[in-house]
Structure 1
Amino acid sequence: MTEAARGLILTPSDGRSFRFDPGALCLELLLTGGPGPLARWESLYTSADLVRWAGESRLPDGLAPVVTEPEVADARRLRDALHRITSARVHGRKLPAADMAVVNEAAALPPPVPCLTPEGERGWVPGASGSQVLSAVARDAVELFTGPWAGRVRECGADNCLLLFVDTSRPGRRRWCAMERCGNRHKVRAHRARPADS
């Protein structure tokens, strides 16, 4: 996926699609549903769903994963653990030990295997397993939460939006999941709330 095309297309209940880049592979998995009220957004039901997500995510092209049904259940388990860990980080709570164990278990599995292409460039051995895909996601989470961007994980500032992202803006003041969605809505509400000039 090119840098310009980063992010996934989301279509909320109002039907207005928008591109959202959470800034990390592990946070892209969160867009497939989650625990509690996030269950209504569930999109990982079959192995084809996980393969489709992998193809749309920032995982490298060419993995062509082969996913089993039990690996789909593992993906949901990892995703839900990542939701709770990310929420705890954002709200300054202690990271849940059981959820960290889920991430560490997935990260301990072998990741996708790189290879040299005939052009001498980096490629990937096709046919990665679902477990290898989940290992890449879990390792990304370890890097995120122990690296320099750990303090820049945010939740959208809109009252009715639970999207999580890494604030990679230079000043570190990003508030919205996407300016064209929640940011613009906030601007419109603020404009309407201003008293009319006399």
Structure 2
Amino acid sequence: MTSRTAGAAAQDEWLWYGGRVCLDYVNTLRDRWKEPRETLREPDDVLRWLHTAGVTGEPIRTPAQPEVMLGFARRLREAIDRAVMAAAGGGLPDVGDLSLINDAAMVVPRPAPQVVIVGGRLAPGNRKDGAEDAAAGLGLVAHDAVELLLSDEIHRVRVCGADRCALRFVDRSPAHNRRWCSMARCGNRTKVRSHQLRHGG
């Protein structure tokens, strides 16, 4: 599952540089290098993220136990992150993390694939209806994590090289040497800071 189009400004509440829905979801915990900053602070944040990412339709059903859903959403996010980073580094994920991801993915049937024409080429499309509730939406995120873990793209997962950022992304650059989550967000700022340090600025 490809991630939401990354046309959002750097000041957006959430960032869309991961290249996969599951990595954009992992990136809802920011600044992992230094002092992690939570963007899924309330149950409504999870619902809004799922809708903004195009995973759920509208209106989305409010969960019966919002705080329980929030806790599960955060645990799933961290299980996905640990599993992806372990596999990207050539290791095997923790069995408990895989179990959590698989259990979440079982909540919703695999959506039928869609195909659309974008820029004169065939491309995967998103379901127009979307999941109806948070459990199903998180299930689709888990589906994407399973697909990533089983695909060759797992070896192209990178971590932004900026000293505070640590956003995860799939490196689809031709030379497979992408260093930053975004040149505009971290690349240019890091280069400017390095230049100032070298020249005493």
Amino acid in the other structure paired with 1:73: G
Amino acid in the other structure paired with 2:51: G
Amino acid in the other structure paired with 2:53: S
Counterparts of residues 1-198 of structure 1 (less than 5 Å): 5-6=5-6, 11=11, 20-33=16-29, 40-46=37-43, 48-59=44-55, 62-68=57-63, 69=66, 70-111=68-109, 123-124=128-129, 128-192=132-196
Tell me whether 49-58 or 30-39 shows the greater mean CA deviation.
30-39
In 1: Cα distance, 2:148 partner to 2:162 partner = 23
Quote the RMSD (CA, aligned, Å): 3.5
- Which one has a larger percent helix, Structure 1 or Structure 2? 1
Aligned with 1:128: secondary structure? strand
- Superimposed CA distance per residue, residues 15-61 of structure 1 (whole angstroms, 9 cap, x where no aligned partner): x9895421111111113338997653242422x2222101221426x
Aligned with 2:158: secondary structure? strand
TM-score with structure 2 setting the length? 0.73
Aligned with 1:124: secondary structure? coil
Amino acid in the other structure paired with 2:180: W
Structure with greater contact order relative to length (CA < 8 Å, sep ≥ 6) = 2
Shift of 1:163: 0.7
Query: Gaps (5+ residues) in structure 1?
Result: 115-121
CA contact (8 A) 1:7 1:57 kept: no
Amino acid in the other structure paired with 2:18: P
Percent identity at matched positions?
Answer: 34
In 2: Cα distance, 1:66 partner to 1:156 partner = 35
Shift of 1:6: 2.7
Shift of 1:175: 0.6
In 2: Cα distance, 1:76 partner to 1:19 partner = 17
CA contact (8 A) 2:15 2:27 kept: no
TM-score with structure 1 setting the length? 0.74
Question: For the pair shown, which has the larger CA radius of gyration, 1 or 2?
Answer: 1
CA contact (8 A) 1:7 1:22 kept: no
In 2: Cα distance, 1:4 partner to 1:141 partner = 15
Shift of 1:192: 3.7
Q: 1:88 to 1:113 in 2, by over 3 A?
A: closer
- Which one has a larger percent strand, Structure 1 or Structure 2? 2
Q: 1:10 to 1:52 in 2, by over 3 A?
A: farther
> How many corresponding residue pairs?
182
CA contact (8 A) 2:76 2:101 kept: yes
